[in-house]
């Protein structure tokens, strides 16, 4: 690197060198801080003295089987290029998108390469965080690709695909087909239903179905799409306007619903994991699933794997058209010079014929390079042949950002139809209306007048400045001043000591919170959204206005209040009750106490997911227990909006009781026994004793815990999000925090979300200050 310093460099290039340097430094620092691995740092030092190694970062959402191929390819590449090490980081599809956007869009950092489906393109381009690639490839190089494998958008090439994928097809279990005398997959939708009926079997005659004809993740719009297309519908027109309210939508809704309710060939409740698990264990004859999943079923001992195209719609004569997404590589826009060359080289390797052949031969994916597709091992592979045929029926997934708004609009409407709260007609109208609204939200802020003298901006900044000055003044009066001179009535040393003792903790807490807090405050006055990430401006109170005029805000506010009150009340009641039961000599008390605390000890993201599983209509323990012991018919916990909300509350009640129980136990144990004895002598009943002695003496202990409990519960996004799988059904199982999270990260409404968060914050702050003042929670005992 030293010999480069005497070459004249553009600022961009020197910037790159500093990036590389800081990368290396950072690497070094990481390993050095890692106390347990002194050896590793010695090795690194050794390698620094020799050749400098460049680490290239690649983030990807590949599932385990593809990940294995990628690992092998990267190992091969590293062997060929000793000066380069490629670091892979796996994240889920949505998470990899969000993480890339935060890292690249907001800090100009991020990985060198991003792998993902082509529908990332629109949003990445709008945010200006992806580099056009056409100048790095010759025409001949590009001509070797299937045009579908190269993602162009607004005249530039942004993604080089290595696979045409994500398309759904019909997977079937030949063994189960043979058992009912079938020897081929269905070719029409009539046959699909007919075969489905044959394959739907109640083996032990107990009235519960043990094997379903067809399973798939049918509540997700992506998995519904092929049927919509088979009735002649599509998500948007040529101008990217949503086209969701039509006869095709009504008929397709009807069709899926009939399969469930009239033909009864699909389970009432079926998400991805259930469908996958049922098919994989031989409990379902057919499955509609995407190319990414097939490899797994080929290996399953319960499945004799068969693949077929989705059967033709008899009524329209159209084939279902699954959405096809090109999967491939995007490049970070902040690269240049040597590093850029290295990254391009890596990208070329990973999309080369050799790499694509590896994927195709091991996982039966469809290569984007035509030469690979023509190789006999690939061309004659029956799975790839079917897969290619299915792709020929498919349609490319739109890559414009509007698609995200359309998914978000379809999901609630479709799930409402499935849940029975909307007719297919109403559902079609509703999804169109929502889609139009959400597309507008996606582009909000774009029309703000850019040249006008911005008085609101000046006002906001001025107000911010005043606020900051006021905070500094307060800080000065509260902390600095007492350090310098005494406070009347208190010794100088005394208060100085007090402040010094508080200061470190205060620094930590506010060091972490202050910047994020003010960042959100500023953003909440801005128009920051998808198209304005890089040139957002202060627009005043408009976002707050939007929040306050949004009926959803009030709806979810009400829901949040119900959620908080029900939860905290039940936590306290059960907590105090258990504490009262345990507050006596009792053999085995110790072990009982520990068992009762367990829900607190296990991380809540684990137990919340477990509860979600337990609420499954067929396989969930809750329904099984209700049915076995109480003879209650299965309750559809997760597809009915009201039940889903109850399910979320049950989970959180379970989680929160131990905390209140412990607090209450500490409280009741400190109440002197003599008080009860005296009361007994006076003839007070146990209930009177509880009301006159226990409750009043418990109150000072419980009030702070309740205050905290309210704040925690009000903002507890984790449980709601995990149990309802992000707000399902129909985006209704939300509290304010989960709703705002969805708005911010699904439709990129950063300004709106920040304003929304401030409304939440203000409401909570006002409430708890009042609540605490009323109950004097900050008072000490002395």
Beta carbon nearer to other proteins, 458 or 492 = 492
Using CB under 8 A, which of 259, 286, 355, 662 touches other proteins? 662
Beta carbon nearer to other proteins, 513 or 565 = 513
Beta carbon nearer to other proteins, 382 or 590 = 590
Site for other proteins in 522-581 (CB under 8 A): 574, 578, 581
Q: How far is the CB of 494 from other proteins (least distance, A)?
A: 6
Using CB under 8 A, which of 41, 151, 293, 432 touches other proteins? 293
Contact 434, 416 (CB under 8 A): no
DSSP summary character for residue 734: -
Site for other proteins in 584-613 (CB under 8 A): 584, 586, 590, 592-607, 610-611, 613
Site for other proteins in 31-70 (CB under 8 A): 33-36, 57, 61, 63-64
Helix (H) or strand (E) holding 84: strand 84-90
Site for other proteins in 203-262 (CB under 8 A): 208
Tokens 């007719």 -> residue:
423
CA dihedral 682, 688, 691, 694 (to 10 degrees): 50
Using CB under 8 A, which of 202, 273, 314, 535 touches other proteins? 273
3-class secondary structure, 323: strand
Binding range to other proteins, per CB under 8 A, among 236-244, 312-320, 460-468, 507-515: 507-515
Site for other proteins in 326-345 (CB under 8 A): none
Q: Which residues contact 633 (CB under 8 A, 6 or more apart)?
A: 627
Beta carbon nearer to other proteins, 4 or 512 = 512
List phi, psi (to 5°) of 397: -65, 130
Contact 322, 169 (CB under 8 A): yes
Beta carbon nearer to other proteins, 222 or 234 = 222
Size of site (CB under 8 A) for other proteins: 159
Distances (CA, A) of 398 to 13, 117, 120, 368, 391: 36, 11, 10, 18, 15
Distances (CA, A) of 16 to 336, 344, 667: 6, 15, 61
506 in contact with other proteins (CB under 8 A): yes
Q: Per the omega criterion (within 30 degrees of 0), is the bond before 729 cis?
A: yes
Q: How far is the CB of 566 from other proteins (least distance, A)?
A: 17
Triad 271, 274, 278: Cα angle to 5°: 140
Using CB under 8 A, which of 214, 250, 274, 442 touches other proteins? 274
Alpha-carbon gap, residue 643 to 636, rounded angstroms: 7
Burial of 215 (0-12, 13-18, 19+ CB in 10 A): buried
676 in contact with other proteins (CB under 8 A): yes
Contact 93, 397 (CB under 8 A): no
698: nearest Cα among 671, 672, 731: 671
Q: How far is the CB of 191 from other proteins (least distance, A)?
A: 27
Distances (CA, A) of 461 to 334, 456, 522, 541, 656: 30, 8, 8, 13, 42
Per-residue binder mask for other proteins (CB under 8 A), 307-326, x = binder = --------------------
Q: How far is the CB of 534 from other proteins (least distance, A)?
A: 14
Site for other proteins in 401-420 (CB under 8 A): none
Q: How far is the CB of 301 from other proteins (least distance, A)?
A: 9
Beta carbon nearer to other proteins, 52 or 677 = 677
671 in contact with other proteins (CB under 8 A): yes
Using CB under 8 A, which of 296, 348, 375, 395 touches other proteins? 296
Q: How far is the CB of 53 from other proteins (least distance, A)?
A: 14
Site for other proteins in 448-477 (CB under 8 A): 474, 477
11 in contact with other proteins (CB under 8 A): no
Q: How far is the CB of 383 from other proteins (least distance, A)?
A: 18
Using CB under 8 A, which of 10, 30, 135, 534 touches other proteins? 30
Alpha-carbon gap, residue 350 to 66, rounded angstroms: 13
Helix (H) or strand (E) holding 328: strand 323-331
Strand ranges across the sheet with 168-173? 212-215, 284-290, 168-173, 305-308
- Identify the bridge partners of residue 145 per DSSP, sorted by sequence position: 369
227: nearest Cα among 211, 214, 240, 237: 214
Q: How far is the CB of 620 from other proteins (least distance, A)?
A: 9
Beta carbon nearer to other proteins, 291 or 439 = 291
Per-residue binder mask for other proteins (CB under 8 A), 724-763, x = binder = ------------xx--xx--x-----x--xx--x--xx--
Q: How far is the CB of 298 from other proteins (least distance, A)?
A: 14
């Amino acid at each position: 690197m030293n010999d480069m310093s005497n070459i004249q460099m553009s600022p961009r290039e020197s910037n790159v060198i500093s990036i590389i340097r800081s990368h290396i430094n950072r690497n070094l620092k990481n390993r050095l801080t890692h106390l347990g691995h002194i050896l590793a740092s010695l090795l690194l030092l050794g390698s620094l003295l020799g050749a400098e190694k460049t680490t290239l970062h690649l983030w990807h959402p590949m599932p385990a089987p593809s990940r294995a191929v990628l690992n092998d390819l990267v190992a091969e590449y590293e062997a060929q290029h000793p000066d380069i090490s490629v670091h892979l980081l796996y994240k889920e599809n949505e998470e990899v998108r969000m993480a890339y956007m935060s890292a690249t869009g907001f800090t100009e950092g991020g990985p060198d390469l991003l792998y993902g489906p082509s529908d990332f393109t629109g949003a990445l381009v709008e945010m200006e965080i992806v580099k056009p690639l056409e100048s790095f490839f010759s025409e001949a190089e590009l001509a070797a690709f299937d045009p579908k494998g190269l993602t162009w958008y607004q005249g530039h090439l942004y993604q080089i695909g290595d696979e045409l994928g994500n398309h759904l097809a019909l997977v079937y279990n030949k063994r189960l087909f043979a058992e009912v005398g079938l020897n081929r997959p269905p070719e029409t939708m009539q046959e699909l239903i007919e075969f489905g009926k044959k394959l739907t079997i109640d083996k032990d005659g107990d009235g519960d179905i043990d094997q379903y004809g067809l399973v798939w993740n049918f509540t997700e719009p992506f998995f519904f799409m092929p049927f919509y297309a088979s009735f002649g519908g599509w998500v948007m027109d040529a101008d990217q306007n949503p086209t969701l309210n039509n006869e095709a939508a009504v008929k397709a809704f009807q069709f899926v619903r009939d399969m469930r309710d009239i033909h009864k060939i699909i389970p009432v409740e079926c998400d991805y994991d259930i469908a996958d698990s049922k098919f994989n264990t031989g409990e379902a004859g057919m499955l509609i699933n995407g190319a990414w999943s097939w490899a797994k079923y080929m290996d399953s001992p319960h499945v004799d794997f068969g693949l077929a195209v989705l059967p033709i719609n008899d009524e329209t004569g159209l084939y279902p058209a699954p959405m096809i997404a090109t999967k491939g590589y995007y490049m970070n826009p902040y690269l240049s010079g040597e590093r850029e060359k290295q990254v391009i080289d890596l990208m070329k390797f990973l999309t080369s014929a050799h790499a694509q052949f590896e994927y195709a031969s091991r996982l039966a994916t469809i290569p984007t390079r035509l030469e690979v597709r023509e190789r006999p091992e690939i061309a004659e592979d029956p799975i790839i042949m079917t897969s290619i045929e299915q792709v020929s029926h498919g349609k490319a997934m739109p890559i414009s950002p509007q698609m995200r708004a359309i998914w978000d609009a379809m999901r609630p409407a479709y799930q409402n139809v499935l849940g029975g709260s909307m007719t297919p007609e109403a559902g079609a109208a509703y999804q169109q209306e929502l889609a139009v609204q959400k597309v507008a939200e996606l582009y909000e802020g774009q029309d703000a007048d850019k040249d006008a003298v911005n008085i609101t901006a000046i006002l906001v900044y001025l107000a911010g400045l005043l606020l900051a000055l006021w905070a500094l003044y307060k800080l000065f009066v509260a902390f600095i001043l007492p350090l310098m001179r005494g406070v009347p009535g208190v010794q100088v040393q005394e208060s100085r000591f007090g402040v010094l003792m508080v200061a470190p903790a205060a620094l930590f807490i506010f060091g972490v919170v202050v910047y994020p807090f003010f960042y959100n405050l500023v953003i909440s006055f801005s128009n920051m959204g998808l198209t304005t990430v890089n040139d957002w401006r202060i627009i005043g109170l408009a976002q707050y206005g939007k929040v306050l005029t949004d009926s959803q805000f009030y709806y979810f506010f009400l829901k949040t209040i119900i959620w908080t009150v029900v939860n905290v009340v039940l936590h306290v009641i059960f907590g105090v009750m258990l504490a009262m039961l345990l507050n006596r000599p009792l053999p085995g008390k110790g072990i009982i106490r520990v068992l009762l605390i367990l829900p607190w000890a296990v991380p809540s993201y684990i137990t919340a997911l477990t509860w979600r599983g337990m609420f499954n209509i067929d396989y969930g323990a809750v329904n099984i227990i209700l049915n076995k012991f109480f003879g209650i018919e299965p309750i559809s916990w997760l597809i009915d909006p009201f039940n889903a909300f109850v399910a979320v509350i049950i989970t959180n009640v379970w989680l929160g009781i131990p905390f209140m129980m412990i607090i209450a136990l500490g409280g009741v144990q400190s109440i002197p026994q003599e008080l009860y004895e005296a009361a007994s002598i006076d003839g007070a009943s146990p209930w009177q004793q509880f009301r006159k002695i226990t409750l009043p003496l418990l109150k000072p202990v419980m009030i702070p815990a309740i205050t905290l409990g309210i704040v925690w519960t009000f903002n507890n996004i984790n449980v709601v999000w995990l149990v309802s799988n992000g707000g399902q059904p129909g985006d209704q199982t939300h509290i304010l925090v989960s709703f705002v999270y969805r708005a911010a990260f699904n439709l990129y409404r950063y300004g709106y979300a920040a304003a929304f968060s401030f409304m939440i914050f203000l409401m909570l702050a006002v409430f708890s200050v009042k609540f605490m003042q009323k109950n004097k929670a900050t008072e000490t005992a002395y």
